[in-house]
Amino acid sequence: MYNILLLGQMQLFFIKGTKGVEIHENVKPEIGEKIIEKGFPNSFRETDLLKYLQEENITELVILGMMTHMCIDATTRAAKDFGFNCTLIEDACATKDLEINNRKIKSNDVQIAFLSALNYFYATVINTKNYLQDN
C-alpha cells in the first residue's frame, strides 16, 4: 500500500523501497526502537499503532513530522478521538503550498490554518523550545 498525492497530475510518493520512505539520518530509530509502517495519512489506519500504545499504557503523544495538512492532521485527530492527550510541535512539522479552485495557498498560511484548527480541540500546539523547557 502506498500514498498517492495528486498535484495536477498523479505523482507517486512514499512508495516502499524508494527514497521517499527513507528515514532521515537525524531521526533514525535506535536499535530495538519500534517502527510502524503506514500506508495512509492516519497513522492508526491499518497499523498496529493503537494496539501498541495501549499495550505500553501510553496516553500522551508528542506529534511532529510531515505533512501538517495531511498526515499530522489525520493522525492528531484520530489520536484525540482514541482518547490520547496530544502535544503538537509546530516548528517540527512541515507542509507545502496548496491549491484549490485555481487559488494558491502559501505553505505558511496552510501551516497556520491547520495548526490553529488542531489547537482548538485536538492538541496543544507549542514550539520546540517551549516543549523542551517544560519537559
**pLDDT in single tens digits along all 135 residues of the chain:** 333 333 333 445 667 777 777 788 888 888 988 989 888 899 999 999 999 999 999 999 999 988 999 999 999 999 999 999 999 999 999 999 999 999 999 999 999 999 999 999 999 999 999 999 998
Rg of the chain over all Cα atoms, to the nearest angstrom: 16
Residue 27 burial class via C-beta count within 10 angstroms: exposed 0-12, middle 13-18, buried 19 and up: exposed
